[in-house]
Amino acid sequence: MKWLAPLAVATAVALGLTGCGDRPQVVQYKQGTYQGKPDTPPYQNPPYNGDRAAWERAQATRAQNQNEYKRTN
Amino acid sequence: MARMKFLCDAERCIECNGCVTACKQENDVPWGVNRRRVVTLNDGQPGQRAISVACMHCSDAPCAAVCPVDCFYHTEEGVVLHDKDLCIGCGYCFYACPFGAPQFPQQGAFGVRGKMDKCTFCAGGPEPDGSEAEFKKYGRNRLSEGKLPACAEMCSTKALLGGDGEVISDIYRQRVTMRAARGTKSGPPWGWDTAYGPTQSAAGTMPGPAPAPAPASGGKS
C-alpha cells in the first residue's frame, strides 16, 4: 500500500496540469479572403480622431441608457 | 474591445415595429427591403411572442462562408459588413443565413436581384466614414458618431438591446433576476430552453422551472 500515496499524488498533479492546457477563448476574427476595400475603425475620424478610449467610453455610456433600472434610480 | 450584438427580450417586445421604422428612416432603406422586421411566433395562441430580427452579426458568419466573391468582413467590433462594389447579388448568403437577414432590392419584371443589403449595425461600410457614398450604399454610420444602432436606441420598451455583448448581457441578466425577485409568474426567458436546455436554475438567477412557451410552429413577419 506504500505505492498508493505517490500514485494519488501523481494522479492529482496530472489532473491539475490539465488546466494548463486551457486556452483563452476570445474570438479572433479572421478576415478570410476578403477582396473588398479596407474599412477604417469607427473612432478613426472626427469627432474621435483616433481616440479609441473616448469612443469606447461614449459607447458604454450610450449602452447604459438602455438600462432603465439605472435611469430611474 | 467591444463585441457588438443585438438581444431581443421577447417578454417586452410589443410588436410596435418601431425598430423597423427607425431602421428604414435612419438608413433610407429602399422600398421592399427590410433590414429589420418583427416576427410573431405562435400567433393568436397563448404564449404568443414577438421578436425583432435582423442580422445577428455572427462570430462565424455563414453568409461570409458561402460568398463566392468574398465580399464580407468583420470589423474590430465584430460587426459583419460587406462591400457592395463586389457583391454580385447571387443570393447564396440569403440561403445560408438562418435569420433571413440578407435582403435584395427587386427591380424589374423578372425577379432580377440587386446587390445584397442588410443590417450594418449602423456601422456603414468600407466607404469613408460619414461620406455621402457610404450613406447611399449602406446607410448612416452611427457607430462612428459614438452612437448605437437606431433600432435599439429607439425601442420604446427597451426590448431590443444593442451594443457590446457583455454590457447588454448584464442589462438583460439584471432584468431577469429582478423579474424572478418580484416573483413574477413567468417562465424562463423566451428562448432560454432552446439555448441552454431545460431550466433548472442557472447559477441561482433563473426562476424555477415553469412551462416554457410552446416551440414556434411558424411565424409571420
Which domains, ranges and CATH numbers included, belong to chain B? 4-154 (3.30.70.20)
**Least reliable range by pLDDT among A58-72, B80-94, B207-221:** B207-221
CA distance B55 to chain A (A): 17
* Interface residue B77 vs chain A (CB under 8 A): yes
For the segment B134-188, what is each residue's pLDDT rounded down to a tens digit?
Answer: 999 999 999 999 999 999 999 999 999 999 988 998 998 888 888 778 876 556 6
* Residue closest to B54 by CA, chosen among B122, B141, B105, B1: B122
CA atoms within 13 A on the CB side of B37: 16
Helix H or strand E segment including B4: strand B4-8
Q: Which residues of B touch A24 (CB under 8 A)?
A: none
Residue B116 neighbours by CB distance under 10 Å: 25
For B180, counting Cβ atoms within 10 Å of its Cβ (0-12 exposed, 13-18 middle, 19+ buried), the class is: middle
Name residues 126-145 of chain B within 8 A of A (Cβ): 126-130, 141, 143-145
Confidence of residue B92 (pLDDT cuts 50, 70, 90): very high
Sequential DSSP letters for B48-68: -EEEEE-----TT-HHHHH-T
pTM of the model: 0.79
CA distance A12 to chain B (A): 27
Cα distance between residue B191 and residue B214, in whole Å: 10
Inter-chain touch A65–B153, beta carbons under 8 Å: yes
| ipTM of the complex model | 0.78
User: pLDDT 10s per residue in chain A (73 long)?
Assistant: 678 888 999 998 888 888 777 776 666 666 678 888 899 999 998 889 999 999 999 999 999 999 988 876 5
For A26, counting Cβ atoms within 10 Å of its Cβ (0-12 exposed, 13-18 middle, 19+ buried), the class is: exposed
* Residue closest to B102 by CA, chosen among B123, B133, B81, B73: B81
Looking at the predicted structure, is the pLDDT value of residue B201 above 60? no
CA atoms within 13 A on the CB side of B124: 27
**pLDDT at residue B69, rounded to an integer:** 93
